[in-house]
Chains A and B, each alone.
Chain A
Amino acid sequence: MNKQSITQYYRKHRKAIVTATSGLLYGGGWGLGYLTSFEMASTAILVLATIVGGYDIAKTAYHEVSNRTLGIKTLVTLAAIGAIVIGEYWEAAAVVFLFSLGSYLEGRTMRKTRTALQELLEMTPDTATVRRDGEVQEVPAREVEEGEVVIVKPGGKIPIDGEVVDGESAVNQAPVTGESAPVHKADGDEVYAGTVNQEGALEIRTTGAGADTTLERIIRRVEKAQEAQSPTESLIDRFAKYYTPAVIVLAIGAYAVTQNAILSLTLLVIGCPGALVIGPPVSIVSAIGNAARSGVLMKGGEHLERAGKIDLVAFDKTGTLTKGETTVADVEGFGVAGDEVLSLAATAEKKSEHHLADAIVDAARERPTAATDGGATVAQADDTDAGRQSIPDPDDFDVVAGKGVIAHTDAHEVVVGNRALLDDRDIDVPSQVADYVREREERGETVVHVVRDGDIIGAIALRDELREAAPGVVAALQDAGIETVMLTGDNERTAAAVAEEVGIDEYRAELLPEDKQSVIEAYQADGHVVAMVGDGINDAPSLATADVGIAMGAAGTDTAIETADMALMADDLERIPYAVKLSKATRWNVLENVGLAVLTVTVLLAGVLTSYVTLASGMLVHEASVLLVILNGMRLLRY
């Protein structure tokens, strides 16, 4: 080992070496004094142990004082100097050694928490293989430009966000979305930087590189979240500012009254607010780090602490409890053919952006025979897809929010909508139609009526498949003592059928977006702490109103990452019980840490006043309590 590497080794392990040397000197000095009569030598070694162990502490204390902050190191330095002045050399050496050992172990433990974020940062590869000017080149990942094609071999990490343009593979998206199973990717599918291509080679057209990738956005969010203090943290920070000077005043006061220097110095040491101040941030940073690795983005300590109090979870139905992929389950014509009903509805709905309209238009396009209108074959001019039917444009078109559409085509007025729209327009519903609608709604389907020139000519039943995980998630929340509610724009019967299938406690049907917000406000007024789960776009008002807004499927969507209090990166409902339970565990963890810290100081204080606690034993217990709260907080990293 040459001189340079020895210096490097010393620098890297300085704290451990200093602590070990101080400990050895302390042990040697104590042993010499206890076993032999070489008192002078023992004293000299104990003073040396204090100087070796205390130099760094005193140096920082000097900076603390010159920067007008008073911290634990100032207290320890005062205590050590005081002990030497009154001839308690053993106590002085013990205090600095124990403090040094405690802070070395604490530093090692804290580093593990701090590196949780570093692990995320290291997910993205530094270089990317791109095709430029017909040549394949290796370039820094940050320099890849939007639109360039990146090649990723099997087993390789994807360096950019993009869309697959060639190849097929299974991609492990765990670093971004937390999903444990690989996801199949083919032409047109979105892939994220930091995920791992497992099977075949992929060619990906870049949509975002460098700082403009989903993973980078997540990292930035997590960093911000870790900095955002929870109410408990802010309270303790404010408290700590006054606490340390108060301890010094108390120690001086105790000396003035009792003239007992040891008592006064012991008060200085045990009065340090270490465990109290360290506990809450460690718990919260650990929880946020853990959540990020599992694909759940927590927006900060404040939200995390509030989420720990949730007692009611409201779910949006479409796209949250259901897959959000509505399909036509059945078409019934009343006096006309089903095909004609579907074709007419598709024309009326063609310009609508509602998900039910999409399902109707898609179903009409996929019909095996040409769509007809009054016997005439509809021209197929506007559709280019081979084998798909064309849908003509309506002459005009109006949306009635939450109710349906009214359109004109070929001199006919066509109304496609729910019962409320029919009632608004005084359209009679024959019993045959009403029976059909009831029967389909009892199966959990949504039915729209198709009306031509004031007469109902048919009805279309639409179905949105439930997510397989939904009943399990609802049951898991109920087991954790949390009430569950489903909010939907669907009518009563459909809502009841879906609610029964999912096993949800309560449902609220026929709600417009603003009604969902009022429902949440009503629950809050009843004293509930409400979490709202939605897809982050349509549900923005209710997500914002709820105590904790949880957005699903946030990967790739900036809005959801930015606006929700909590974002599930994947469309994975099963993360909700995990996120809620983690928040509750974090809240308890913070309370445990605060409780432990307060208990330690109280017991030590009682011990000092009854002379059971010495300077060294006080320091030992104090350091042990600091380590204990850190280790307790770190349990959340593996929750």
Chain B
Amino acid sequence: MSDTTQFRVLDFDCPTCASTVERALSNVDGVQHVEVHYATGRVEIEYDDSAVDPDAFAQTIESQGYTPQPA
């Protein structure tokens, strides 16, 4: 089943930071669609809930050097 979750990242320095996080998240297995926006710091992830635990998303964002906050 497809589900969506959202985060807010307030410590992006530049639009490329947002693309970096977007790419990292889209490489996570089970992720169907990711949108990361620099100006608002909004991260929206559509994923297959049988294939991935949503906790993995916060960890992925952290691994790229940014701090995810629940939206």
Contact = CB atoms under 8 A, between A and B. Distances in A.
Interface in A93-127: 103, 106-107, 110-111, 113-114, 117
A277 B15 contact: yes
B37 A227 contact: yes
A106 B20 contact: no
A359 to B, nearest CB: 47
A63 B16 contact: no
A64 B37 CA distance: 16
Contact of B15 (A15, A63, A111, A278): A278
Interface in B7-22: 8, 10-17, 19-20
Given A60-B64, A67-B24, A73 B39 contact: no
Interface string A27-63: 0000000000000000000000000000010011001
Given A69-B16, A69-B19, A113 B24 contact: no
Interface string A217-247: 0000001001100000000010010001000
A337 B59 CA distance: 83
Contact of B40 (A59, A64, A107, A117): A117
A114 B14 contact: no
B46 interface: no
B39 A69 contact: no
B29 to A, nearest CB: 16
A107 B20 contact: no
B40 A63 contact: no
DSSP class of A's interface residues: helix, strand, loop or mixed?
A: helix
A597 interface: no
Contacts of A227: 35, 37, 40, 42
A107 B15 contact: no
Contacts of B64: 60, 63
Interface string B18-41: 011001100100000001011111
A237 B13 CA distance: 16
Chain B CB within 10 Å — which of A63, A240, A274, A285 has the most? Answer: A63
A56 B65 contact: yes
B40 A274 contact: no
A486 B8 CA distance: 45
Contact of A107 (B13, B24, B27): B13
A282 B20 contact: no
A252 B23 CA distance: 26
A282 B39 contact: yes
A15 B11 CA distance: 10
A240 B13 contact: no
Contacts of B13: 60, 73, 103, 106-107
B38 A274 contact: no
A226 B65 contact: no
Given A111-B10, A227-B42, A281-B39, A59 B65 contact: yes
Given A63-B65, A107-B13, A281 B38 contact: yes
A60 B40 CA distance: 20
A425 interface: no
A270 interface: no
B23 A73 contact: no
B20 A67 contact: yes
B16 A73 contact: yes
A103 B27 CA distance: 27
Interface in A178-203: none
Nearest to A272: B14
B65 A72 contact: no
A68 interface: yes
A106 B11 CA distance: 10
A73 B17 CA distance: 9
Nearest to A286: B39
Interface string A56-100: 100110011001111111000000000000000000000000000
Given A71-B17, A274-B14, A63 B24 contact: yes
B17 A237 contact: no
Contacts of B20: 60, 63-64, 67, 69, 71
B37 to A, nearest CB: 6
Interface in A278-300: 278, 281-282, 284-285
12 contacts: A60-B65, A63-B20, A69-B20, A71-B17, A71-B19, A72-B14, A72-B16, A106-B13, A111-B10, A114-B8, A114-B40, A244-B16
Given A73-B13, A226-B39, A227-B42, 15 more contacts: A59-B65, A60-B20, A63-B20, A67-B20, A67-B23, A67-B24, A67-B27, A71-B17, A71-B20, A73-B16, A107-B12, A113-B39, A117-B40, A227-B35, A277-B14
Interface of A: 15, 56, 59-60, 63-64, 67-73, 103, 106-107, 110-111, 113-114, 117, 223, 226-227, 237, 240, 244, 274, 277-278, 281-282, 284-285
